[in-house]
Structure 1
Amino acid sequence: MKDEAVNGGPPPASGLSPCDPAEIDVILERCLERFAEVAPLRDLSQLRRYLPEADPQTVKFVLIELIKLDMAMVSETGTVPPIEFYLEALPEFLPSGEVPVDLVMEEVQLRRESGETPTQDEYKNRFPQFDSVIVQLVGVAEATAAVKNRAAPPELEIGSQIDDFLIVQTLGSGAFAHVYLARQLSMARLVALKVSRGTGDEPRALSQFDHPNIVRVFDQRELDQPSVHLLYMQFHPGGTLAEVVRAVRGVEANQRDGTLLLETVDEQLLKLAQIVPERSSVRKWLSEAPWPIVVAWLGIQLARALDDAHGRDVMHRDVKPANVLLSNEGIPKLADFNVSYAGAAGRAGAAASFGGSIGYMSPEHLRAISARLMDEPEEVREKADLYSLAILLWELWQGQRPFVADASPSSWSEAVWQQLNSRGDPPSEPQRIGTAPERVLESTLRKALAFDPEDRLLSGAEMAGRLTLALHPDAAKLFDPGKETWRYKILQWSPWMVPMTVVLVPNLFVMLFNFVYNYYALLGKHGDRDKPDDYIPGLREFFESFAFWVSAVCLGVGIYFMVKLTKAFVAAIRNAESGEPAGERSIRSIMNLGQNGALIGGTLWAIAGLVYPFTLLTRFPDLEMGEAVRFFFSLVICGGVAAIYPYFGMTILGTLIYYPRLIKNSMQDTAFSDRFSLVVRQSERFMWAAVAVPLVGVALLTYSDNEEKNVVFSAVVASGAGMFLAYYAYRFVNRIWLDMARVLSKEHASLIPGLGSDD
């Protein structure tokens, strides 16, 4: 062991206010980095020089992690110093009764790795406060803490050469690895060179990927003189999202936009003497983008990267801002370094080998760390990575994490429990600017932050799909309407009321028109006893009775079929409200309701159009054929109106309100393009039908008698207005579906710079 030569900080002050728990990771990393340069120590009392100037709880927390690191480095010599050595050297900081369970676990594991066999009786005597859990602590056979190859790598001088690499600049230094900007001489290219004593799993994990948002690993080499491992990878000079988070905290919510990201990137480029791109479509788009859209844009790319990794059965388990590198255009690159470019020190301690930073961990990840201490392993899978990504994106959006512990922890195990307890609370109330993209972002993150994994997003692809909506404000208003909008208010109405009203009310109006028109057309001419030449006995009584029964039967049949159709419609809406992803059957029940309602109405009116004239001619032979023909065409007009208005009414409501509600849960519809084409074709046919109806009315007006002309003229005017409404409805529906296509269809998707061709 060696003495330290350090200009360490002043001793901690007990009167300082507690640190923000969200900042403890940063404090710990700095202290570990400084201590790693001189550890292990001969004089353990000198550990106090590496403690922060902070409140006692934070000081105790950092001290325990420094002890773990010192113990780990001493263990490389084959012996493990007992915890009591540190207690004797630093009695004022860590009394014997306050030793945390994770520090005991660290000693147990290090002794196992050194070939010793710790016994339960020994630890019961040394730490009686843990009597109830000693069996689990000593009996755990699986490694939980040992950080492999803990020896610190040699520091390389700027301008020196190691193997094929000329060292240009230091990018990050940590306890167990250093990252340099280096020039690979044989390839004449700049690379990020990670120098460490051991390989770990990172090279194997990263070498599998060829994804635009995952750091590309070129290769690795093992050297004997000096004995180090070299991992060289793609160089990204824009810093990390950790710097962006720090910048966000200094800017008011309504002042944030894409320039914040670009300014942070440019600051890092300047530090590394790199050139700022002059012509970049990505940077131009970012410079004009609101902040919620920028956060969603970053989230889409990182969610896709995780989805690609998960598809190869690779979990990240340490998604945090310092592990997301940025290109000179601001494009995020997911990394998994033990030492990030930002200078993170890596993690010593009981949770080290399991990975992750607890401030970004999912509940099941935190439970798994605690359970491993008790030998009760819990599986941590893909949704944990998405949970961590959601915390990262929330922090980018708000400048603070959604879950904050109430107090500074005094040990790693206590910190884990604090974080786990905080996950049971709802996310902290965000500062909002009130835009549709922001609502989409918030709802997506809240879904991903559900405590129960079963209630979260299914995959990175789903998360990316939902966030894509935030990039298109017009579409975002459809899928996530504000509570003050009429769309949102209609969604609160009974799903039974809307389709029944939209389909049946036009039919009732045209039934009234049909009765009034034919009352004047027939009874005005043949039902008046004062006109003996034209009077047909019994016509009035028969017509009134027959019209009533035909209307009653048709209305009853129509209501029967509409109830059946609406039942499926209601079930689809309620399933969507319960969070279920929409299936093809549910979507069809929504989008086909207008067409089916039109088909029901049109069919019944067509039947009535044949039944009325045929029955009247059969019952009253004195009626002229021309009168029967006029009667038929009046019903054709009624049938056209009864089909066209319900179709466009339900298609518009389905397009604007109900289809977006169904798709919102997954933001995926594999048949979207076919559905889009079908809606356009159907709407075009109904538009032409709307053009034909007033033409039929004009023809009917030409052959109408004076008694009925006013009624027919009113019908022509109404159907003419309907023709123009149908034209604008057709255009409107087409435009709305095109807006949705930018999110849901590859064929119609608008290109957002930086997202490639997969949107």
Structure 2
Amino acid sequence: MDADDWLGECLGRLADNGCVDDPAELGSYLPAIDTDTRRILLVELIKLDMAMSAETGRLRRIDAYLSIDPSLLSPDHLPLDLVMEEMQLRKELGESPDVAEYQSRFPKLAALLLPLEQSIAAISSAAMAEVPPEIGIDEQIDDFRILQKLGQGAFAQVYLAQQISMRRLVALKVSFGKGGESESLAQFDHPNIVRVFDQRMLGDSSVHLLYMQFVPGGTLADVVKTLRSFVAAEGRAGVGGWLLLRSVDEQLLEAAQVVPDQSSTRQWIAASPWPQVVAWVGVHLCRALHEAHSQQILHRDVKPANVLLSAEGIPKLADFNVSFSDSEEHAGKVASLGGSLGYMSPEHLRAIIDKDHADQDTIREPADIYSLAVLLWELWQSRRPFQTSAMPLSWSDAAEDQLASRDCAIAVPHCDETAPHAAAERVLEKTLRRALSVEPADRFGDGAEMAGRLRLSLFPQAATLFDPPESSWRAWLSRQSPWVMACLVLLIPHAIAGGLNYQYNMNEVMQTESLKETLRWISWIVNLTYFPLATVFAILQTRSMVRAVDCSRHDQRVDSRDLGNMLELGHRAAIIGGSMWISSGILFPIIFHYLSPDFHVMASLQLFLSSLICGGIGMAYPYFGMAWLATFVFYPHCLRSTMQDTDFDTRAERMVNRSLVYTLIAAFVPLIGSVLMIVIPSSSRWFMLAAVIAGMLGLLVAWFIHHRVVKAWSQMGQVLSTKGTTMPE
């Protein structure tokens, strides 16, 4: 078990047992592990025990815990955050803690507490001056009847209230003055962003009322807490979407709200494996961030506690208190550096550490993408991707420790490679690792791009197409040269058809030695003309596919025209190749009649029909070869980074329809061969029979590829189609 696992288990046991009678009892909660981890666990246990004791009205001070284990905790080695925790709890109990008192009690922290004295005093006085008095249950303020207190922040009270005039439930935020959150949230009308209805000032006073959508299902922080408790007790094997619903239902019960029945969304969540539920949450939040960013709003504090859940479990991004807008009317406004250290991007942490020299413009949209990736990793693995080993003594130390952890390797996730959803989990991990790149330019371009990638995790079959295992044949083919692959697929069927056509004409059509000799030198002329031309065509037409594959290998967006040309390559090769064979079927009899006037009509018909058969081979099989190569290898490879193709529906319809047409063309090959064998006398029927059987096998292969291509484009449509979605909303 790592530090997070031990922490979840220890805190869970203490929370279940309640506040200890003797502080020394906390020592029994500590496992026999390394000293640094034991020190971290002890500090967190003390915080929880202090908070539980404060709830009884009798706060237990830090001094009572110093005798537990002097090697882990002593006045000379006391973390600053423990002191700040006690000060905060005392303020919540109505006391006014003095920094000088703590400097006297803990002289070793005096230097750290000194620069904080003025800021702490300012925060304390501001809180006392700015937090409005609590409103009683069933009291009315303006147009709102208070039903329940939902929470309290440093400068506001939040209530569940009924808006009398509209007869609806709202979350009512009561504060003094007017903050910037309403201006940020009021711009949005998005299903994954908490909607602000309106704001008003209360009479002539400075009381500000902000009323917004009431989201009763708790937060993702509640889900993470539920997940950690379950993993600590039962392990990861049984983790599933039902855990999210359990957390939501607990919050609904606490808020006296009804659990929805006959909800397709809840049914999907309950039946889905955990990686897919995490990806589903990520898709919704990516959409929310994309909407905010498109309106030049940055959130800058994306974390589980700021994601609310509806009764159906749908996530909604909230708390834009530290967001800012850089639209034209806000140009030049200094950006806030607020946020939560554990979820901050490297560039955000650097700005926190060096505010005087930090470039505010570096904390842009990729910083929100990074924070979201940390959130989703924690939701997936019940721990964050980065671990800090030090015990920070100050805010700046904590920020530096967090920044140092960003350069370390990401924690190896717990994955089940044998599970049915292994492909979805593999895609989820790769997506989050890219979003957690240290350099902003290496992350996703926007929320929509990341959402497209996460959607792939919801459909394991499509995930296998777009992101095959590294050891699979599809992954191996995607690493090969597209020049070589395309030329082999396009030219080999023509070479085989040419060989068959030559043997048939030599054995069945040319009855005299002079005609056979004429066929030999004409074949040389044709082969030295047609095949070089076909090779040049293959190389020229493959350029678009090469550009597309090269862009995808460098994680660059592929041009839509190159994608289209790649998918058209098989069809164009079929048209040109078929035209060459049909033209030769017409040209050869004319040449032989000119050179040998006694060349009979039946022989001309044989020449034409044999060329027609070879034309069918030259059309159907290069097309199916390229359709298979594009569908299963190169097209998914080109879209694996962005998962966006605005022309997908048109392309899919065209591929499916053409596949059916070329299947019919493939059926004509054995049909015409049978006609030749039955109608025209032959001296080598075994040769014709072998050709017909080969044609039948080719038809079966063509039908199989057609079936697989149609199925593959249908699976890709689950992720890429714009006509609708099968993802639960």
TM-score class, shorter: 0.7 to 0.9
Q: Per the alignment, do residues 22 and 603 of structure 1 end up closer, same or farther by CA in structure 2, a change over 3 Å counting?
A: farther
> How many residues in Structure 1 have an aligned counterpart in Structure 2?
678
Q: Per the alignment, do residues 380 and 239 of structure 1 end up closer, same or farther by CA in structure 2, a change over 3 Å counting?
A: same
Distance in structure 1 (CA, Å) of the matches to 2:50 and 2:207: 24
Instruction: Confirm whether residue 203 of structure 1 aligns to residue 178 of structure 2.
Output: no
Equivalence for 2:507: 520
Distance in structure 2 (CA, Å) of the matches to 1:623 and 1:281: 74
Q: TM-score, normalised by structure 1?
A: 0.80
Equivalence for 1:365: 348
Which amino acid is 2:727 matched to? I
Distance in structure 1 (CA, Å) of the matches to 2:581 and 2:125: 81
Distance in structure 2 (CA, Å) of the matches to 1:263 and 1:322: 17
Equivalence for 2:331: none
User: 1:482-521 counterparts in 2 under 5 A?
Assistant: 482-521=469-508
Q: Which moved more, 1:656-665 or 1:185-194?
A: 185-194
Q: Per the alignment, do residues 625 and 551 of structure 1 end up closer, same or farther by CA in structure 2, a change over 3 Å counting?
A: same
Equivalence for 2:148: 169
Measure how far apart 1:468 and its partner are.
Answer: 1.5
Equivalence for 1:119: none
Any idea what SS the aligned residue of 1:209 has? coil
Residue in structure 2 matching 1:732, options 687, 696, 708: 708
Q: Per the alignment, do residues 211 and 426 of structure 1 end up closer, same or farther by CA in structure 2, a change over 3 Å counting?
A: same
Q: Per the alignment, do residues 692 and 67 of structure 1 end up closer, same or farther by CA in structure 2, a change over 3 Å counting?
A: same
Equivalence for 2:434: 447
Equivalence for 1:300: 283
- Could you list the per-position Cα deviations for residues 456-508 of structure 1 after superposition, in whole angstroms to 9, with x for gaps in the alignment? 11111111121122222221111111234322232233333322222222122
Asked if 2 retains the 8 angstrom alpha-carbon contact of 1:183 and 1:190, the reply is yes
Instruction: Confirm whether residue 702 of structure 1 aligns to residue 672 of structure 2.
Output: no
Q: Which moved more, 1:594-603 or 1:455-464?
A: 594-603
Equivalence for 1:120: none
Measure how far apart 1:62 and its partner are.
Answer: 3.9
TM-align CA RMSD: 3.9
Distance in structure 2 (CA, Å) of the matches to 1:545 and 1:23: 92
Asked if 2 retains the 8 angstrom alpha-carbon contact of 1:31 and 1:51, the reply is no
Runs of 5+ consecutive residues of structure 2 not aligned to the other structure: 1-18, 323-333
Asked if 1 retains the 8 angstrom alpha-carbon contact of 2:66 and 2:73, the reply is no
Any idea what SS the aligned residue of 1:203 has? helix
Instruction: Confirm whether residue 615 of structure 1 aligns to residue 591 of structure 2.
Output: yes
Equivalence for 1:60: 80
Q: Per the alignment, do residues 566 and 448 of structure 1 end up closer, same or farther by CA in structure 2, a change over 3 Å counting?
A: same
- Could you list the per-position Cα deviations for residues 381-439 of structure 1 after superposition, in whole angstroms to 9, with x for gaps in the alignment? 11111111111111111111111212221111111111112112232111112311112
Residue in structure 1 matching 2:694, options 718, 738, 752: 718
- Could you list the per-position Cα deviations for residues 537-580 of structure 1 after superposition, in whole angstroms to 9, with x for gaps in the alignment? x3333322332332233222222221223343223212101101
Q: Which moved more, 1:470-479 or 1:169-178?
A: 169-178
Distance in structure 2 (CA, Å) of the matches to 1:394 and 1:253: 15
Asked if 1 retains the 8 angstrom alpha-carbon contact of 2:606 and 2:676, the reply is yes
Q: Per the alignment, do residues 274 and 542 of structure 1 end up closer, same or farther by CA in structure 2, a change over 3 Å counting?
A: same
Equivalence for 2:414: 431
Residue in structure 2 matching 1:230, options 187, 209, 218: 209
Any idea what SS the aligned residue of 2:237 has? helix
Q: Per the alignment, do residues 402 and 232 of structure 1 end up closer, same or farther by CA in structure 2, a change over 3 Å counting?
A: same
Residue in structure 2 matching 1:631, options 607, 610, 613: 607
Distance in structure 2 (CA, Å) of the matches to 1:47 and 1:197: 34
Equivalence for 2:15: none
Q: Per the alignment, do residues 201 and 338 of structure 1 end up closer, same or farther by CA in structure 2, a change over 3 Å counting?
A: closer
Equivalence for 1:94: 109
Asked if 1 retains the 8 angstrom alpha-carbon contact of 2:300 and 2:338, the reply is yes
Q: Which moved more, 1:255-264 or 1:716-725?
A: 716-725
Measure how far apart 1:655 and its partner are.
Answer: 0.9
Which amino acid is 2:350 matched to? R
- Could you list the per-position Cα deviations for residues 51-101 of structure 1 after superposition, in whole angstroms to 9, with x for gaps in the alignment? 999856673234358779999xx9xx9xx99x7x366423345043xx28x
Any idea what SS the aligned residue of 1:592 has? helix
Asked if 2 retains the 8 angstrom alpha-carbon contact of 1:31 and 1:50, the reply is no
Which amino acid is 1:386 matched to? I
Equivalence for 2:541: 565
Asked if 1 retains the 8 angstrom alpha-carbon contact of 2:508 and 2:682, the reply is no
Asked if 2 retains the 8 angstrom alpha-carbon contact of 1:148 and 1:198, the reply is no
Asked if 1 retains the 8 angstrom alpha-carbon contact of 2:509 and 2:606, the reply is no
Asked if 2 retains the 8 angstrom alpha-carbon contact of 1:218 and 1:233, the reply is yes
User: 1:656-671 counterparts in 2 under 5 A?
Assistant: 656-671=632-647
Q: Per the alignment, do residues 23 and 673 of structure 1 end up closer, same or farther by CA in structure 2, a change over 3 Å counting?
A: farther
Measure how far apart 1:355 and its partner are.
Answer: 1.8
Q: Per the alignment, do residues 635 and 21 of structure 1 end up closer, same or farther by CA in structure 2, a change over 3 Å counting?
A: farther
Any idea what SS the aligned residue of 1:428 has? coil
Measure how far apart 1:678 and its partner are.
Answer: 1.7
Q: Per the alignment, do residues 176 and 36 of structure 1 end up closer, same or farther by CA in structure 2, a change over 3 Å counting?
A: farther
User: 1:252-651 counterparts in 2 under 5 A?
Assistant: 252-336=235-319, 354-374=337-357, 377-434=360-417, 435-523=422-510, 525-527=511-513, 538-651=514-627
Q: Per the alignment, do residues 358 and 689 of structure 1 end up closer, same or farther by CA in structure 2, a change over 3 Å counting?
A: same
Any idea what SS the aligned residue of 1:305 has? helix
Which amino acid is 1:61 matched to? D
Distance in structure 2 (CA, Å) of the matches to 1:438 and 1:146: 49
Asked if 2 retains the 8 angstrom alpha-carbon contact of 1:9 and 1:51, the reply is no
Distance in structure 2 (CA, Å) of the matches to 1:485 and 1:744: 23
Asked if 2 retains the 8 angstrom alpha-carbon contact of 1:195 and 1:228, the reply is yes
Distance in structure 2 (CA, Å) of the matches to 1:602 and 1:405: 66
Which amino acid is 1:185 matched to? I
Q: Which moved more, 1:388-397 or 1:7-16?
A: 7-16
Distance in structure 1 (CA, Å) of the matches to 2:197 and 2:149: 19
Equivalence for 1:127: none
Which amino acid is 2:465 matched to? L
Asked if 1 retains the 8 angstrom alpha-carbon contact of 2:276 and 2:458, the reply is yes
Runs of 5+ consecutive residues of structure 1 not aligned to the other structure: 1-6, 39-44, 115-144, 340-350, 528-537, 755-759
Distance in structure 2 (CA, Å) of the matches to 1:595 and 1:147: 72
Asked if 1 retains the 8 angstrom alpha-carbon contact of 2:81 and 2:394, the reply is yes
Instruction: Confirm whether residue 690 of structure 1 aligns to residue 690 of structure 2.
Output: no
Distance in structure 1 (CA, Å) of the matches to 2:645 and 2:294: 21
Any idea what SS the aligned residue of 1:706 has? coil
Asked if 1 retains the 8 angstrom alpha-carbon contact of 2:219 and 2:306, the reply is yes
Q: Per the alignment, do residues 375 and 70 of structure 1 end up closer, same or farther by CA in structure 2, a change over 3 Å counting?
A: farther
Measure how far apart 1:154 and its partner are.
Answer: 2.3
Any idea what SS the aligned residue of 2:683 has? helix
Measure how far apart 1:583 and its partner are.
Answer: 1.0
Measure how far apart 1:37 and its partner are.
Answer: 14
Any idea what SS the aligned residue of 1:390 has? helix
Residue in structure 2 matching 1:156, options 113, 125, 135: 135
Distance in structure 2 (CA, Å) of the matches to 1:9 and 1:410: 28
Distance in structure 2 (CA, Å) of the matches to 1:193 and 1:370: 35
Asked if 2 retains the 8 angstrom alpha-carbon contact of 1:222 and 1:229, the reply is yes
Q: Per the alignment, do residues 175 and 20 of structure 1 end up closer, same or farther by CA in structure 2, a change over 3 Å counting?
A: farther
Any idea what SS the aligned residue of 1:220 has? strand
Asked if 1 retains the 8 angstrom alpha-carbon contact of 2:335 and 2:360, the reply is no
Distance in structure 2 (CA, Å) of the matches to 1:590 and 1:702: 41
- Could you list the per-position Cα deviations for residues 330-353 of structure 1 after superposition, in whole angstroms to 9, with x for gaps in the alignment? 1111110769xxxxxxxxxxx995
Measure how far apart 1:241 and its partner are.
Answer: 0.5
Distance in structure 2 (CA, Å) of the matches to 1:623 and 1:23: 102
Any idea what SS the aligned residue of 2:133 has? coil
Identity of matched residues, %: 42
